[in-house]
């Protein structure tokens, strides 16, 4: 579903970046080591649409929460962000933990969100089997 939305945005000449959350953290870590962190943030901030798949699929560390907030903060109120997740918003809160950074992330993601929930107990990859 999110790939289709991203493809459609590309067809309409929007600048789109698709990334899985684990890859996002790897890119950030590499950019920090290479002194390219600010440049990478500009890349994330400059896209019309940022798609983050596997949102909070794996547990995140406090430092990673801060990184998520940095990415989202630069996009807040001027660019679209889509997250794809196996969890509900309540699950996101549990995975992010308590605290100001977690609340800020949730605020950035949910403040003006449109929600599409696909319910079911089968993976989309196994439905046609």
Maximum mean pLDDT: which of 21-30, 69-78, 79-88, 107-116: 21-30
Does a structural domain hold residue 126? Answer: no
pLDDT in the model for residue 29 = 97
Asked, for residue 97, whether it belongs to a domain, the answer is: yes
Residue 116: inside a domain = no
Distance, CA of 59 to CA of 97 (rounded, Å)? 10
Percent share of the chain, pLDDT over 90: 68
Q: Is residue 15 part of a domain?
A: yes
- Residue 15, domain extent: 1-111
Residue 37 lies in a domain: yes
Query: What's the structural domain count of the chain?
Result: 1
What is the secondary structure of 105-116 as a DSSP string? HHHHHHTT----
> Residue 97 belongs to a domain with what CATH number?
3.40.50.300
What pLDDT, on a 0 to 100 scale, did the predictor assign at position 10?
93
Q: Is residue 31 part of a domain?
A: yes
Q: Which two tokens stand for residue 101?
A: 């950074």
pLDDT for 47-93, tens place per residue? 999 999 999 999 899 999 999 999 999 999 889 999 999 988 889 98
């Amino acid at each position: 579903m999110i790939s289709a939305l991203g493809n459609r945005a590309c067809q309409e000449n929007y600048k789109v970046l698709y990334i899985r959350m684990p890859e996002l953290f790897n890119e950030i870590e590499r950019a920090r080591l290479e002194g390219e962190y600010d440049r990478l943030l500009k890349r994330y901030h400059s896209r019309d649409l940022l798609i983050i798949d596997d949102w909070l699929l794996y547990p995140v560390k406090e430092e990673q929460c801060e990184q998520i907030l940095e990415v989202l903060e630069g996009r807040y109120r001027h660019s679209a962000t889509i997250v794809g997740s196996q969890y509900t918003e309540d699950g996101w809160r549990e995975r992010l933990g308590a605290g100001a950074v977690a609340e800020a992330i949730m605020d950035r993601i949910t403040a003006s969100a449109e929600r599409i929930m696909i319910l079911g107990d089968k993976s989309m990859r196994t439905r046609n089997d």
